Amino acid sequence: MVVDRTWRSVDRQWLMDQVVDELGVDYRLWDADGAPVAEASGPDELRRLLDQLGMDSDALQQVPTGDPWCD
């Protein structure tokens, strides 16, 4: 999996990657323990997913992919 960008929720409960090398997957969401939660295949699907989880997409914080929390 190659990741272009990574964001985390303000409460650090969720981590979201923008995936660039998987057919049909543009975004992957992880929980704070590193377990995969969901995938989205585009911005509309991602918006619906974030709404279902009660996350404000405007409040996500971009983090460098080398951040230890991303491992």
DSSP 35: -
**Type and span of the H or E element at 8:** strand 3-8
Domain count, the chain: 1
Range of the domain at 33: 3-61
pLDDT tens-digit readout, 47-69: 999 999 888 888 899 987 666 65
Give the pLDDT score at 58: 87
Q: In whole angstroms, what is the distance from residue 14 CA to residue 8 CA?
A: 6
> Does 68 fall in a domain?
no
> Across all residues in the chain, what is the average pLDDT?
87
> Does 70 fall in a domain?
no
5-32 residues labelled b (16+ CB within 10 A) or e (exposed): ebbbbeeeebbbbbbeeeeebbbbbbee
| Per-residue pLDDT band at 21 (split at 50, 70, 90) | confident
